[in-house]
Amino acid sequence: MTTSSVALPVKTKGRSATAPDGIEVSKTIEGLQVVNNPDVALAIWRRSLPAHLRVWLDRLDPSELPDVRLLVRPADLHRALQPLLDEAGMPNGPMRDLLVGDISTLVQLFADIVRTDLIDVRFERISHDACWKFHRDCVDARLLTTYRGATSEWVHPSDSEAAISQQKSFLGPIQRLAADDVAIFLGSCAGPGTGIVHRSPPVAGTGETRLLLCLNKPSVTSPDQWPAPA
């Protein structure tokens, strides 16, 4: 017997649909703002990236994918990220510009939603079983989107404790973000009993390399702000 894994469907012709347990799915970027509502634990923007960008990313050698982290003001994202992509060997050109532009948009959006001047940006190449255990993030809120490879998995709040206690033996329904989805998860620091239980999909041994963007508010684990003091 195996666990089921599904992408949550959009169930309305309107702007968004609230599923049971405070899960909000939207067809527009503005829908992510509902994560600030007290009855919403997870906001998902169901979008589609340009097909030519996805093809370009999928064709890159894993060694050309970045694995970087920086603490930056949204307005500085372009200047801070481009040299790091150069160091990683990611080819320059229109596709990379499109990618950086998309990341910049998400960084500014997340900063506006969580009301902070600085964003802790993790843009990670993942080919191992990072964070494979079901868990709640120890944050107020976190934005996740996967640009390449398998997407993040999560469970409805009603299944949270079972997933955490059973881990790999959990046989309940496991939800999976659709390709290109942008999600903002509430974490355990948002208040008592909060936090969407989720995990990174196990990919070790599959030959797959994921490319994940993770945005957080500044914390004690954040790097020094970019640019570094002179």
3-state secondary structure the chain: CCCEEECCCCCCCCCEEEECCCEEEECCHHHHHHHHCCCCCEEEECCCCCHHHHHHHHHCCHHHCCCEEEEECHHHHHHHHHHHHHHHCCCCCHHHHHHHHHHHHHHHHHHHHHCCCCEEEEEEEECCCCCCCCECCCCCEEEEEEEECCCCEECCHHHHHHHHHHHHHCCCEEEECCCCCEEEEECHHHCCCCCCCEECCCCCCCCCCEEEEEEECCCCCCCCECCCCC
The CATH number for 8's domain is 2.60.120
Any domain includes 125:
yes
pLDDT at 99: 98
Tell me how many domains the chain contains: 1
Any domain includes 37:
yes
The whole-number mean pLDDT for each consecutive block of 10 residues of the chain, a chain of 230 residues, reads 39 42 92 92 95 97 96 97 97 98 97 96 86 82 94 90 90 92 86 78 80 95 84
Any domain includes 230:
no
Any domain includes 224:
no
Any domain includes 225:
no
Any domain includes 223:
no
Task: Note if the pTM is more than 0.75.
Answer: yes
Any domain includes 227:
no
pLDDT at 16: 45
Any domain includes 180:
yes
> Could you tell me the residue range of the domain that residue 83 belongs to?
4-216
